[in-house]
Every structure is written in C-alpha cells, then in structure tokens.
Amino acid sequence: MAWKESDKIYTYDPHSGPTVVFAGDTTSGGPPNYAPEVWHTIDLKPLGVSADASFAEINGFLIITDLGSEIDNLTATFRAPGSTLDAGNYQMQAISVFSGDGARQVQSVTVALVDGCFQFYWKKQVGGVAENGHPSGFLLNLWLAKWGRDLPDAEDQATAIAALDARITALEALPAPVDHSAAIAALQANVAALETAVQALQPGQPGQVINVPSGGIVIQFVQED
C-alpha cells in the first residue's frame, strides 16, 4: 500500500482503498463483523493512518437485497470517539421500496479522528421497524479513501518579533568598522622593500644586516664555519 502525500493529505484509490468496515447479516453472504445498533470503534492506524491524523474520508457501498413488500431502510452514522452525536443523525442511507428492487449505492463521509480512530453505527429497518428475521439482506462495505492532518494553528510571534527588532536596533547602533586600508598598504610596502633587499644580497658576505626602517624589520644573516 502506498499513500500519496500532498499538503498533509494522504489519498488512496477512492474506489478500492483498504476496507475498514464490512458489516451485514447472514443473508448478505458476508460475516457479521459489526453488530447493528451498536457503536463500534474503528482503528485506522493498522492501515497506515498516523495517530495525529485529524480526519478521514470513508467511502461506503450500501447494499439492500429486497425480498419483501415493505420499505427497507439502511443507515450508517459516524462520529469521533468521545462525541455525543446521536445515531439518528446518520450520514449514509439507502432505501429500497419495491420487492426485488434492492439498492446499490456508493456514498462518502468525512469523519473526525481521535488517535487514528472513529466510531461507527449502523441500523437496518423493514417497514419502519428494526429488521428481525426478514428475508431481505443488508450489507455495508466501507473503505478508506483519504486521511489528513490539520495544519497547526498560527502562533503568536509578537515576542520573537520584538526581540528581533531589538537586536536590529542594537546592531545599527554599533560604530562603523575601522578602515584598515592604510595599514594594509603600509604593510604591503614593507613586504615589497624586504623582497627587494633580499634579492640584492650577495653570497659570501657574513654578518650583513638588512634594515627596513618603515616597518622596523631586521633580518641578520650569519655564515657558519
């Protein structure tokens, strides 16, 4: 599985992302992993979602196989752990009116996360009452399409800005740098004079002294026996 990052948003194929919930009844052909009318906490971290993620986009395939004359109703509700959102405020719904008609719908919801988790609740009804042994089949197949992190809130930088302004003011108050160009020129002249004197030396003259008055530089050559 390879997530693609863009501005703190991580996306997967919206049509075939990793399954996060597979819930239904025995007539759907799938395992009843999540019982109806119960809040279930779904952890997305095993799918690569980080613990500091703030939201996830869940896509859902809602299926009703209608085998009766009553109206069949399938709903799903999502909320963050700790939320008091009532299950009646569902965000997904599929309805089948006619026997043999059924419903096949793909829907999407964005849910807030806490520690990489959200809560999920689903309900099935036939003729306005909870389904119990009715031959119609219900199934929800939900997968993860996207998740992301909120950017941090802007921090108050007033103190840091004031400190920087004070530093700039102090730097501006410093004296101008000393001009050393004259001293450098004098030193260069001394070096040139020394080079000239060295080139004028004659071999075999022990005890010679070369004086460079401008720089006070004295070099003495002594011949050893």
Residue 158 inside a domain? The answer is no
Domain residue limits at 191: 184-195+208-225
Are 25 and 126 in the same domain? yes
Give the chain's domain count. 2
Antiparallel, parallel or unpaired: β 9-11 and 129-130: unpaired
User: pLDDT at position 17, please?
Assistant: 77
**Same domain, yes or no: 37 and 137:** yes
The pLDDT value recorded for residue 1 is: 47
Is residue 22 located within the same domain as residue 106?
yes
Any bridge partners for residue 108, and if so which? Answer: 59
Q: Are residues 15 and 83 in the same domain?
A: yes
Indicate if 132 and 188 belong to the same structural domain.
Answer: no
The domain spanning residue 64 has which CATH number?
A: 2.60.120
pLDDT given for residue 29 in this prediction: 47
pLDDT of the residue at 23: 86
Cβ distance 89 to 36 under 8 Å? no
- The answer to whether residues 111 and 221 belong to one domain is no
Model pTM?
0.60
Mean pLDDT by 10 residues, the chain (225 residues): 58 75 65 80 92 91 83 92 93 84 87 94 80 74 87 66 83 80 84 78 60 56 57
Q: Are residues 113 and 190 in the same domain?
A: no
Task: Kindly state whether residue 29 falls inside one of the protein's structural domains.
Answer: yes
pLDDT of amino acid 217 = 55
